[in-house]
Amino acid sequence: MVDFEIGPREDERERAILVGGPLKDTPTWATEEHLEELGRLADTAGAEVVGTLVQRLEAPNPRSYIGAGKVAELRALCHERGATLVIFDDELSPAQGKNLEDELGVRVIDRTELILDIFAIRARTSEAQMQVELAQLQYMLPRLVRRVTDLAQLRGVIGGRGPGETQLETDRRLINIRIRDLRRRLELVARQRATQRKGREDETRAALVGYTNAGKSSLLRALSGSRLFVEDRLFATLDPATRAVELEGGMQLLMTDTVGFIRKLPHHLVASFRATLEEVTEVDIILHVIDASHPGWEEQKEVVEEVLDELGIEQEETLLVFNKVDRLTHEEEEGLRARAAELYGQPAVFTSTIEEGGLVELRARLADELRHERPEVEITIPVADGESLAAVYREGEVIEREESNTTISLIARLPRPAIGRISSRPGVVVSREV
């Protein structure tokens, strides 16, 4: 077994070599794009990419994923570039990881472990930290033989950080006990979330979903006027944020930003964040945010849809939002609009949080969606019942108003729960749906 050196100081960046092992029928552009994304993940985790190595495979080598010759080439490259870390773009088996570390003399992690590490860095709330710890433990459990060699030396390095690292120093029995405890606590969080959702049943709710770095947080900040953290990095934010968005005519909805998705998203991570993502199952509007400037946006869209399918989320009424159109030329934007209309039989809007008026189209579409969720009704209220009148103005949109000596007649758009509450008040009559 190789003895690792103590991890780098905080003021030093690990030097990483990226390794791709695409199958032979994988297009060259896809291989390049996947490695570029892996490099961005490494940068987010705090590593400096000092080299890449690619081998096209008929099938992964069961011992070392890549062939013996490429392992020797990778060992020489690590020595030449002074690498302290090798990151594979695909998931390695426990045996493959151990064999590679023995051969190379440096730490080896895979894409899954890298993503888990980034989540460990970015998690802020206790819920997110529990979710990440659970995913880490489930991933590390079958790799315990390799990882317990000397974890004390690995603290603070990529793949060895986060709330789960101390549990990895214990035996399998204690880890399994911890996993059961985390699951129980997350189930409690899920029940609390369900209770909170019941308290918001009268509100129209929307959720932003999309590939990581598609601009969801920027959109929510621009729409709501709130001061959300935004950074041009993968997985800049993990913790869901809900903000009120004001629309024309006094209409309002609650919009929730969710964790971004990514290709090859670790299964354990999806399972751990299920309680958070299930918020999407009970919203009125799902906005699928797509980076319109990304050349691989169609693949990214498919990745998001696959995760939503895994969660059992219906997508028929999803609103496609092509964001970052400020990065396109006018001709490119028009071509994308035509292509989106040709490919998808569902509505799409195009947005920019940079250009003036870049959210007008989205705001108008959201207002239309709210009107659909809020039918027009005719309501007659006694003049003396100021509370019911105030409720109509507060919770809906008044279109017409007529007054007599004893009553006030309104035509208004209201959420259905509000219609039920107001119509149950003494003297109030909801005579018809317009």
pLDDT tens, position by position, 101-140: 999 999 999 998 998 888 888 777 787 788 888 888 888 7
- Rounded to whole angstroms, how far apart are CA atoms 190 and 193? 5
Cα 38 to chain centroid distance, Å, stands at 17
Over the range 164-175, which residues count as b (16 or more CB within 10 Å of their CB) and which as e? bbebbeeeeeeb
Tokens of 42: 């490494």
Strand order in the sheet with 407-413: 397-403, 407-413, 376-382, 429-433
Residue type, 227: R
The pairing of beta strand 407-413 with beta strand 397-403: antiparallel
Q: Determine phi and psi for 402, rounding to 5 degrees.
A: -130, 140
Counting every residue written for the chain, the total comes to 434
Cα dihedral sign, 187-188-189-193: positive
| Residue % of the chain over a pLDDT of 70 | 82
Give me the phi and psi of 285, to 5 degrees please: -135, 130
- The pLDDT score that the predictor gives to residue 231 is 59
Give the pLDDT mean for 165-190. Answer: 77
pLDDT at 399 over 50: yes
CA–CA dist 255, 243 (Å, integer): 5
Q: Check if the beta carbon of residue 253 is closer than 8 Å to that of residue 259.
A: no
Looking at residue 3, the DSSP 8-state letter turns out to be P
Instruction: Report the C-alpha gap between 110 and 323 in whole angstroms.
Output: 30
Assess contact for 299 and 221: CB atoms under 8 A. no
Amino acid letter at 3?
D
Closest-CA residue to 347 (of 369, 314, 372, 378): 369
User: How far apart, in whole angstroms, are the C-alpha atoms of residue 286 and residue 208?
Assistant: 6
Based on DSSP, count helices (H) and strands (E) in the chain, helices before strands: 15, 14
Mean pLDDT score across all residues of the chain: 83
Could you give all domains of the chain from N- to C-terminal order, each with its CATH number?
1-199 (3.40.50.11060), 201-371 (3.40.50.300), 374-433 (3.30.70)
Q: Compute the distance between CA of residue 253 and CA of residue 284 in angstroms, rounded to an integer.
A: 10
Q: How confident is the model at residue 36 (pLDDT cuts 50, 70, 90)?
A: very high
Tens digits of per-residue pLDDT, 7-29?
444 447 899 999 999 999 888 88
The string of pLDDT tens digits covering residues 230-253 is: 555 566 556 667 888 988 867 788
User: pTM (2 decimals)?
Assistant: 0.76
Instruction: Give 243's strand partners.
Output: 255
Judge whether residue 360 has pLDDT over 80: yes
- In order of 165, 184, 253, 355, 423, the CA distances from 190 in angstroms are 25, 10, 23, 39, 33
Residue 130's alpha-carbon distances to 180, 181, 231, 302, in angstroms, are 12, 10, 24, 28
Tell me the residue type at 387: E
- The pLDDT assigned to 379 comes to 92
**E strand or H helix at 323:** strand 319-323
